[in-house]
Amino acid sequence: MDKIKLWFPRFMSVILAFFTAAFSAPCLFFPIYKPVLIADFSESEREISSGASGYLYGIAEEGVPSKNMTESVDVSTVVQKAPEGLQHPIGDIEHVENHLGNTDYNIVYLQDDYDTWYYCHEEINNKRKAGTYNWETHVREDFLPRVRRIVSTLSQKDYSEKTVYCLYNETDNGVWFGTTVVNEDGTVWGNYDEQGRENFYKAWKITYDEVKKINPSALIGGPGFYEYSHWKIEEFLSFCVENDCVPEIMIYHELADNSIYNWQANVRDYREIEKNLGIEELPIVVSEYGRMQDNGLPGKMLQYITQIELSNVYADNAYWRLANNLCDVAADDNSPNSNWWVYRWYADMSGVLADIEYVDIFKSNVGKALSGKSDLYSQGFMGLASKTEDKIDVICGGTDGRTRVKIKGLKGSVWDNKEVLVSIEGAFYKGLSGIVSEPEKIMQFKGKVRNGTLTIDMPEIQSENAYHITVKE
């Protein structure tokens, strides 16, 4: 069952009522409208995970940041550099392995063995200009020896069973496999056209087979595209099915301006591709998520966490600035910033994950939904909720103004028709290096669960911040 139930038919009447009221009496309507988050436990079954707590080069070296810091956010996946790789001066997976005891997957970018971005770009372009570049020669004579060394080394490690070899990273940029295009000014580039894609598929098969030859049980991840694209992934997987080289882990990136907006649709679309091709459902690791302006901002990262958890996938914070602060989660080696509190609240959530529904009309695609061109999706106020026998946790945020949280499905529970204690605290943005030793307490009050439902009217909130609600007897 999809966790976000925001489909057009269900909300048409709500939208029409909204616009009727808004345009007939806007001065009366707009002040009372509240974005709403509905957490329903009546049919929830899945346990909450920590899939969103992943980090690309978030751990620089042993103790940087501290082990206390990495354990405190329950790191589920990491992306690190190959042993002795040159892409960065830090981040070698062998140097940070003591931080990886609780991870589910450790992804290694094999191409990060090279020292430039994009890998060998200048060297390849010079060969393209000279008319001497051959992708297969480059792969077989330069890349595969590196692959053999990396896989042979990591296959001996205690954590080899959860090491994922990402064969290629963002090859859809065309640098390695695209056909050569010469501009009028003499510059050249690789075009990821039909021939470029075929080149990549052949290289994938060559490299896949090489890794399996060294370690038949190795986990291989890919394709590692810089975006989610239906046709790119469908064509890639069709080739893999036909050539016996389907990856064990599906990897792609979500770094676009509309990634939060399209996250759920992309996961559903991918699952449909798997079904149509007869592929058994693979774990998904979005190995890079969040734009540079997003990372470190509690309210924005709360939105990503919501999308990742509800889609039941893994994802790793993108590395934009520093490689020693858990991708802008740590203020220093052993101190939290405001963003850390969002991931800490998330890590501390346990028990059953609620079915989530959210409506924020002013931050939605309501125009397309009204025209029938799309389902209704909103990208403002959102969040997650979990329930154990003695506590309910909600994390929420992503909009400005007054909002409402509705917790449903409590009929017959220990809370039904009783007074409960509701506590609200906030993680207020203080900059990336601003130490935030504790969240700010906002309010605490007694609420009443009526017929299995508790309604919480939030005070004025700000989109850059995130909020944590706890409900106890």
Instruction: Give the tokens for residue 45.
Output: 């079954």
pLDDT of residue 184: 86
Mean of per-residue pLDDT scores for the chain: 91
- Give mean pLDDT, residues 430-448: 95
pLDDT of residue 4: 43
pLDDT band at 23 (very low <50, low <70, confident <90, very high): very low
pLDDT band at 227 (very low <50, low <70, confident <90, very high): very high
The pLDDT of residue 11 is above 70: no
Instruction: Give the tokens for residue 252.
Output: 């792609």
**Tokens 């800490």, residue located:** 344
pLDDT of residue 13: 46
Q: Helix H segments across 25-167?
A: 26-29, 67-72, 121-130, 135-138, 144-154
The amino acid occupying position 273 is: I
Q: What is the DSSP track for 369-388?
A: HHTTSS---B-SSEEEEEE-
Domains of the chain and CATH, by start: 8-46+351-472 (2.60.40.1180), 54-347 (3.20.20.80)
The amino acid occupying position 311 is: S
Residues 307-357: pLDDT tens digits? 999 999 999 999 999 888 999 999 999 999 999 999 999 999 999 999 999
The pLDDT of residue 451 is above 90: yes
The pLDDT of residue 363 is above 90: no
Judged by DSSP in three states, 322 sits in coil
**Rounded distance between C-alpha atoms, residue 334 and residue 125, angstroms:** 43
- Cβ atoms < 10 Å from Cβ of 210: 18
The pLDDT of residue 19 is above 80: no
* Residue among 50, 57, 54 at smallest CA distance from 325: 57
Q: Are 361 and 18 in contact (CB under 8 A)?
A: yes
Q: Are 337 and 436 in contact (CB under 8 A)?
A: yes
The pLDDT of residue 172 is above 50: yes
pLDDT of residue 322: 84
Q: Are 49 and 355 in contact (CB under 8 A)?
A: no
**Rounded distance between C-alpha atoms, residue 204 and residue 139, angstroms:** 10
pLDDT band at 364 (very low <50, low <70, confident <90, very high): low
pLDDT above 70: percentage of residues in the chain: 90
pLDDT band at 359 (very low <50, low <70, confident <90, very high): confident
Q: Are 422 and 444 in contact (CB under 8 A)?
A: yes
Q: Are 174 and 118 in contact (CB under 8 A)?
A: no
Lowest mean pLDDT among 174-188, 202-216, 362-376, 450-464: 362-376
pLDDT above 90: percentage of residues in the chain: 84
pLDDT of residue 7: 43
